Amino acid sequence: MERRRFLGALTAASLGVALDGSLTQFARGQNTAPAATTSPASKTGGFPSNSAIILVHGAWADGSCWRNVILPLERHGLHVICAPIPMTSLTNDATALSQVLERTSGPVVLVGHAYSGAVIAAVREDRVKSLVYIAALAPDEGETVAKVFYRDPKPPESPKLAPDSHGFIWIPDGGFQRAVAHRASAGQTSIATAVQRPIAVQCIQEPAPTPSWKTKPSWFLIAEEDRMINPKTQHFMADRMRAKVHSHHVDHSPMYTEPNLVINIILEAARETLSS
Q: Please state the rounded mean pLDDT for residues 172-182.
A: 98
Q: Is the pLDDT at 2 greater than 90, yes or no? A: no
**pLDDT for position 1:** 45
**pLDDT for position 275:** 82
**pLDDT for position 206:** 98
Q: Please state the rounded mean pLDDT for residues 185-193.
A: 96
Cβ-Cβ contacts under 8 Å for 257 (sequence gap 6 or more): 181, 183, 184, 250, 251
The percent of residues above 70 in pLDDT, for the chain, comes to: 84
Q: How does the average pLDDT of the chain come out, rounded?
A: 88
Of 113 and 19, more confident = 113
Q: Please state the rounded mean pLDDT for residues 201-226.
A: 98
Of 14 and 148, more confident = 148
Q: Please state the rounded mean pLDDT for residues 150-162.
A: 96
Nearest to 213 by CA among 145, 149, 132: 132
Nearest to 99 by CA among 89, 86, 112, 111: 86
CATH of 45-273, one of 3.40.640.10, 3.40.50.2300, 3.40.50.1820, 3.90.550.10: 3.40.50.1820
**pLDDT for position 21:** 41
Q: Please state the rounded mean pLDDT for residues 224-249.
A: 98
pLDDT tens digit sequence for 14-65: 434 333 443 334 334 343 333 333 333 334 578 999 999 999 999 999 999 9
One-letter identity of residue 108: V
**pLDDT for position 276:** 57
**pLDDT for position 45:** 72
Cβ-Cβ contacts under 8 Å for 210 (sequence gap 6 or more): 141
State the pTM of this model: 0.84
CA distance linking residue 198 with residue 49, whole number of Å: 36
**Angle made by CA atoms 51, 54, 55, in degrees to the nearest 5:** 145
Q: Is the pLDDT at 83 greater than 60, yes or no? A: yes
Strands 199-200 and 168-169: antiparallel
Whether 84 and 92 have beta carbons less than 8 Å apart is answered as no
